[in-house]
Amino acid sequence: MKIKTLYIKPDSKFSLYVKNWAEQAGLAAEDYELKMVEDQKADGLLLVNENQDIPKDLYDFHTYFYNRHIPTQKIDVNGTLQVALSSFDMWLTSNKCENILILGSEKLINNDNLERFFSKVKMN
């Protein structure tokens, strides 16, 4: 499955990290003003977290997508890397998401495991 666009939260340190990673991976990353509306551009949500600690505002987006049967995936960067990569790859393949909203807390950029995950993840 070929990812067309990654949507990211504007003015976020986590999103800047994802945008820089996407550029190196040859993927388009666009700022997307977060809103919970029916005209959602994203057809999937990747919620990156550490130790299943998810801020309420980000978890609300997960709930919004989940309740509308829009594919969601939570990745814990402190979990087993191979499990996270396999799970994400299966999610991408089975749901055929092309436009993914990627969210994560600001404190994630200080976690060495974030780099470990993104250095090995394949989105195309």
Confidence grade of residue 123 (pLDDT, cut at 50, 70, 90): confident
The enclosing domain of 82 has a CATH number of 3.40.50.450
Residues 13-40: tens digit of each pLDDT:
999 999 999 999 999 999 988 776 666 7
pTM: 0.91
Please tell me the total count of domains within the chain: 1
SS (H, E, C) the chain: CCCCEEEECCCCHHHHHHHHHHHHHCCEEEECCCCCCCCCCCCEEEEEEECCECCHHHHHHHHHHHHCCCCEEEEECCCCHHHHHHHHHHHHHHHCCCEEEEEECHHHHHCHHHHHHHHHCCCC
Residues 45-63: tens digit of each pLDDT:
999 999 988 999 899 989 9
Domain holding 100, by residue range, is 5-120
